[in-house]
Amino acid sequence: MEIRPYRHEVKYYECDRMGITHHSNYIRFMEEARVDWMDQLGFGFEKMEAEGVVSPVVSVECRYRQPSTFKDVIEITVTVAETTPLKVIFAYTMTVTGKTICTATSTHCFLENGRPISLEKRFQEFYKRVMQVGK
């Protein structure tokens, strides 16, 4: 299964006084891309939450390489860097006109009723698809 990259056009309000996209917005762009990735995988957040499963962020790391500015279209490729039954680490590559502007990762665990769950046991089909896409 091929997952297409997510595209985000930088809005004026996302820029600082220097006209550069504020660094904090990249975390939001990652979330937008991850939600789109999961929808394409067939397991949107609505489906997981309807099953009583939530996926909080455990950690985030960003490496800013080049700035983006108002009206730039950022293409965000989401891949699976690592998967265990208890967590998934997503990797993000953000580009503007083919130039890498940011690379990042986010780590997520999965909870049901506030307790960690094994995706392999509780959400088998999702785990299987993540493992397939992650290869």
The CATH code of the domain at 6-133 is 3.10.129.10
pLDDT bin (cut points 50, 70, 90) of residue 89 is: very high
Could you tell me the sign of the dihedral formed by the alpha carbons of 103, 126, 54, 45, in that order? positive
Condensed to tens digits (0 to 9), the pLDDT of residues 91-127 reads 999 999 999 999 999 999 999 999 999 988 888 888 8
| Model confidence, pTM | 0.92
H or E element at residue 101: strand 99-109
